[in-house]
Amino acid sequence: MPWSEAVSGVVRLAKSSMVVQCMLAFIYAGDIRFHEAFADLEAVSPTHGLRRRKKEAARAIADAAHEYLLPEMAMQAETQVWCHSPVDIDNLAVMVGRARKMEIPSLEERCLDFISEHFVELMGDRALWQKLPFHYREVAFDRMSPEKQRSVEVAVKLGSMRRNLHSVLESISRRRSFDRRELAKPASPDASISSFVGRMPNLGASFFVRAPETIFDD
């Protein structure tokens, strides 16, 4: 029955105990205390799927905060959702933007580590680099080991050599096409009739000069 809690004195929520504890901690202390909320998750499995389970738990806390109109609690929970979201090539720009907008240093550090680890793969993606802060290249490069830095330098040199070769081949192709244009072209089908007739032998003149003599011979 509606408002049965007023009679029984018991409030029943369709939420997990972890979510309820986080809500009470925020209401009475102003802090969700995620380290306590995630302790049970870490005890079950310290490594396997831990980041995914923390993200799911933070999402459940955020949903409860939205349901009970607790915007500050929702913001704290949303921050944890992004902190435990995986970073990959497809969502890298989005994750960097979210980390900077929400001021989440740990997420930004993860993004920089990802760029440093996959620098060679990302190097040629101009569209991606246009979305990232300019100083990210230097920061990510400085985080690499000396061996990896040398690999990147070699890749850059090879890319420069390929671009130079491509420009040389294009230049040769342009010169060849220019030489072909200089060759004499055959008469085109849409040439004017005057130019076409001008190339024919003058047969009509000799014919019409002799015609009067034949007509008035008698």
pLDDT at 74: 94
Region of residue 188 (left: phi > 0; alpha: psi -120 to 50; beta: else): beta
- The sign one gets for the Cα dihedral 195, 196, 199, 201 is negative
Give the distance between the most distant pair of CA atoms in the chain.
145
171-207 residue pLDDT tens: 667 765 555 554 455 555 554 444 433 444 444 444 3
Helices (H), the chain: 5-8, 17-29, 34-37, 39-44, 50-67, 71-83, 92-101, 105-117, 119-122, 126-131, 136-142, 146-182, 193-198, 203-215
Section 93-109 average pLDDT: 94
Going by C-alpha positions, the residue among 26, 21, 56, 29 that lies closest to residue 41 is 56
Q: CB of 98 within 8 A of CB of 57?
A: no
pLDDT at 47: 65
pLDDT at 209: 44
Section 112-129 average pLDDT: 91
Percent above pLDDT 70 for the chain? 72
pLDDT at 35: 83
pLDDT at 213: 47
Comparing 169 with 2, the larger pLDDT belongs to: 169
Comparing 168 with 125, the larger pLDDT belongs to: 125
130-178 residue pLDDT tens: 999 999 999 999 999 888 888 888 888 887 777 776 676 676 677 655 5
Whole-Å CA distances, 7 to 2, 4, 11, 160: 10, 5, 10, 79
Whole-Å CA distances, 193 to 115, 185, 188, 189, 200: 69, 18, 12, 10, 11
Section 80-108 average pLDDT: 93
Span of 3-17, 49-63, 99-113, 121-135 with lowest mean pLDDT? 3-17
Q: CB of 42 within 8 A of CB of 86?
A: no
Mean pLDDT for all residues in the chain: 78
pLDDT-derived band of residue 6, with 50, 70 and 90 as boundaries?
Answer: confident
23-38 residue pLDDT tens: 999 999 988 888 888 8
Comparing 201 with 85, the larger pLDDT belongs to: 85
Q: What is the dihedral of CA 52, 46, 74, 131, to 10 degrees?
A: -50
